Amino acid sequence: MTTDTVLARRLVMRRAFAVSPERLFDAWTDPAVAARWLFTTPDSQAHAAELDVRVGGRWTITDRRDGVDYVALGEYLEVDRPRRLVFTFGMPQFSPAFNTVTVEIAPAGDGSMMTLTQEHLPPEHHPATRDGWDAMFEALEGNLAA
């Protein structure tokens, strides 16, 4: 695979949050907080998050919409609070493929800058994936403000 092909299969997003890196990192790793924003939508009828946040630990999030359970799952590859979280991500009901998601958090003024990189993502999936993350980040921001 050429470098251009590798870069084309990588989605990178950056977003500032008005909270400490620790608080932002914990929103990714605390099941009670993650259940309110991660892989859920305003149309969710039920949501459950099981997070075993340690290297080799598994995570599963189930979101019910219109009577259908959508399951996202993966494994934690790196946990470095509050700077970096790396995990695999897949939704086997749609595809056997798994991506790798890296969340990097750095102090930025009075808040934090988060960089999310999703790798092994076909370019044709970038627009819908970006829209999905944007919606989740809006929900995350709302939960952090509460």
Q: What distance in Å separates the CA atoms of residue 113 and residue 104, rounded to the nearest whole number? A: 8
Return the pLDDT at 40.
85
Q: What is the DSSP letter of 145?
A: H
Q: What are phi and psi of 61, to 5 degrees?
A: -125, 125
Q: In the numeric block, which tokens belong to residue 107? A: 């102090």
pLDDT in tens, 39-71: 888 888 888 999 999 999 999 999 998 999 999
Query: Is it the case that residue 6 has pLDDT exceeding 80?
Result: no
Residue 18: other Cβ atoms inside 10 A: 14
Residues 85/109, Cβ–Cβ less than 8 Å: no
Q: Which two tokens stand for residue 34?
A: 């993650």
Determine if the pTM surpasses 0.85: yes
Q: What is the pLDDT of residues 111-145, one digit of tens each?
A: 999 999 999 998 999 999 999 999 999 999 999 98
Domains assigned to the chain? 3-145 (3.30.530.20)
d(CA 77, CA 67) in angstroms, rounded, equals: 32
39 — alpha (psi -120 to 50), left (phi > 0) or beta? left
